Amino acid sequence: MNSNWAAGRVAFITGATSGFGAALARRVVRGGGKAIATGRRIERLAALATELGGNLLPRPLDIRDEKAVRATLEGLPAEFSGIDILFNNAGLALGMNKAPATELRDWKTMIDTNVTALVTVTDSILPGMVARNRGDIINMSSVAARYPYPGGNVYGATKAFVSQFSINLRADLLGTKIRVTSVEPGMCETEFSLVRFDGDEDAAKAVYKGLTPLSADDVALTVEGILQLPAHININVMELMPVQQAFAPFAVDRSN
């Protein structure tokens, strides 16, 4: 890969306080580019800025707040305003209960974060990309978008939205030089399961017991590879899993 691949580029990264977001911010800055790192945990953003220096612009932001999203973008310094990489990464799953036992507030939180906030950020940044006729939109989906599992209910549905939204953006952007990719990872050990299980470290660790899962940097490396491809190549969907994860047979109820 080109060690200076991101020179002259500016990335806007949601959910940059950990996991995929922080990993891609490091790769963009170390690749010669600039990154706007957003998230709710101010101390994490400050630490990332200390690590990466002046080409990392930390911006505390809850992307569910539309006014805050617009204000953040309007207040960017000139050298960070020409965003041509949008990494729609922020998202979460809450709980593993089957639908009858879930809390509606958890469903709404997932929809607000994974769907509504993602389209708000996209709507805010896309006009600038169109005006400059360049850019990459990388939307973080999941294998849960395509493969249902018990307890996946609304989380899987939100990621199905992300995947479908991505390919519909591609249809709408035909005739421009803007690329759109839906990245759909399988089991990846980040803070994802810790959030899903409400901070229960034992439950989170059990998810990955006995296997080598993907890491945040594995996914960031994949995204970097997509971004380094020649400008005429668009990766519509990138699905990746650890070698120790595959596909299950259909579940069948034989009780009757």
Could you tell me if residue 231 is left (phi over 0), alpha (psi between -120 and 50 degrees) or otherwise beta? alpha
Which 3 state secondary structure label does DSSP give 161? helix
Sign of the CA dihedral 230, 226, 18, 211? negative
Question: Which DSSP string corresponds to 164-194?
Answer: HHHHHHHHHTBTBSEEEEEEEE-SB-SSHHH
How many residues comprise the chain? 256
Task: Using the CB atoms, write b or e for 61-99: b if 16+ within 10 Å.
Answer: bebeeeebbeebbeebeeebebbbbbbbbbbbbbbbeee
Q: Which residue in the list 147, 149, 155, 208 is annotated as catalytic? A: 155
Task: Identify whether 155 is a catalytic site residue.
Answer: yes
The answer to whether the CB of 106 falls within 8 A of the CB of 94 is yes
> Catalytic site residues?
155
